[in-house]
Amino acid sequence: MVTIDSILLEWSYRCSDGVVDLNNPKKKAILEQVLSELGIDLNEALNSKATSLAIDNIINSELGRKYNFKKQSDKYRLGNLDKITKDQFVDIINSLYNNPSIKIYGPKDSPNTSSKYSMFEFETPNGVANIILSGGANEGEKYEQNFLGLLKSLAGTPLEDIDNEDVKKLFQSVNIDPSTLTADDIVFAGASDTKRPLSFEGPKDIGKIIADIIIKPDTYLSIKNKDGSGIYNGGIVPFITMDKEGNAVYDASKLNNNPIIKELFDDLNIDSEKIIVGINDYINDTNNNSNTYETLSNIDTNKLKNFLSSAYGYGYYYIREKDKKLFIYPILTAEDAYKLVGDVKDVRIKYANNETKTTTIKIGTESEILGSLDYIIEIRNTQGKILPLSLKIKSSK
């Protein structure tokens, strides 16, 4: 019978000094040899352990209890009984593991073994964890999967023989002859890299990052259902923290920890102290801030346009369900992103107060593509707590 003790004893025996050490490459190679002789893969064993510990950590966290996660028989699966969204799960990982780089693999996208659910890969103090979030998809994810299935089913079909007008419009828009495709040429990406850059310098090519579906080799599609108004999630506000008494305070030592957030506050003249006052109003049921919008003045609207355009980026096709039809807009260049955003007309802010812990910024725009549209920047905690605050950007008609 192979036991951990017997493996350690053999490993120690083969090390010249009798001392085992995973951080020593030569000694690690010796362990790999010992394990390979027993039919055990070291990386798989370490990954399995890190995943198990991460699942335990998530389940036992405050948010894990709130969302009713459940262990499953497959050691890589986490039961998602409340059917939270992909973005909500990413927020939980960010909260527990200090914003690690997260890679999301869609169904059947190696190394994800699931044919139905996405797998989240991220670094933990114990190694790389791979968690398959199973148990149900939200409406947006269902729409993506249904749309993917429809495209795959019509691969190889001549354009003139496609009855679905939305699919026909899509293939015409991306200038691809569906008769030249196989189902394997259309793959689910699931916005596989969650790190989308924001910049006041303007948009960047993020097609590979933002894509939900890829038509090989390099046609990237971002798919939104009718409720998919979210553009960006993330960006912790590091300089507003909690003191020992449970009140929000300003920490100047962390001002430069997230430069893009600092620049946003500076350029929009966002009053950090007023946010803190409002959060403390919410905590202590005091009434220093009003629950009304005020106009932000002296804004560099061109710089703000750069910022909003960077949230879209370019290098892909933006596809959204609208009035039971598809709205398709190619965001293939920086200029396309600028056209989509249009011109900034006004900026208003409602600070946190005793009725809400969220600070909300409304940016009114006028676009030749989308018409009159508000972009909403929410500065709030997304985990049911007060702090830390993070940034969310969405659109609203």
Name residue 372's amino acid: S
pLDDT at 217: 94
Q: Residue 134: in which H helix or E strand, if any?
A: strand 127-134
pLDDT at 302: 95
As a whole number of angstroms, the distance between CA 237 and CA 391 comes to 8
Residue 205 exposed, middle or buried by CB count within 10 Å (0-12, 13-18, 19+)? middle
pLDDT at 378: 95
As a whole number of angstroms, the distance between CA 365 and CA 114 comes to 42
As a whole number of angstroms, the distance between CA 72 and CA 132 comes to 10
pLDDT at 228: 64
pLDDT at 72: 76
pLDDT at 225: 78
User: HSE (CB half, 13 Å, CA atoms) of 199?
Assistant: 13
Cβ neighbours of residue 137 under 8 Å, at least 6 residues apart?
83, 117, 145
- Write the DSSP assignment of 272-293 as a string of letters: HHHHHHHHHHHHHT---S-SS-
CA 378 from centroid of its chain's CA atoms: 16
Task: Report which of 291, 260, 286 is spatially closest to residue 359, judged by C-alpha positions.
Answer: 291
Q: Residue 156: in which H helix or E strand, if any?
A: none
pLDDT at 44: 67
φ and ψ at residue 6, rounded to 5 degrees: -70, -35
pLDDT at 382: 74
φ and ψ at residue 38, rounded to 5 degrees: -100, 5
As a whole number of angstroms, the distance between CA 130 and CA 109 comes to 13
Q: Which residue has the tokens 């790389």?
A: 128
pLDDT in tens, 323-333: 778 899 999 99
As a whole number of angstroms, the distance between CA 28 and CA 21 comes to 7
As a whole number of angstroms, the distance between CA 123 and CA 129 comes to 6
Cβ neighbours of residue 87 under 8 Å, at least 6 residues apart?
230, 233
pLDDT at 381: 85
Q: Which residue has the tokens 């593991």?
A: 97
Q: Which ranges of the chain have pLDDT less than 70?
A: 1-4, 36-46, 73, 136-141, 190-196, 228, 383
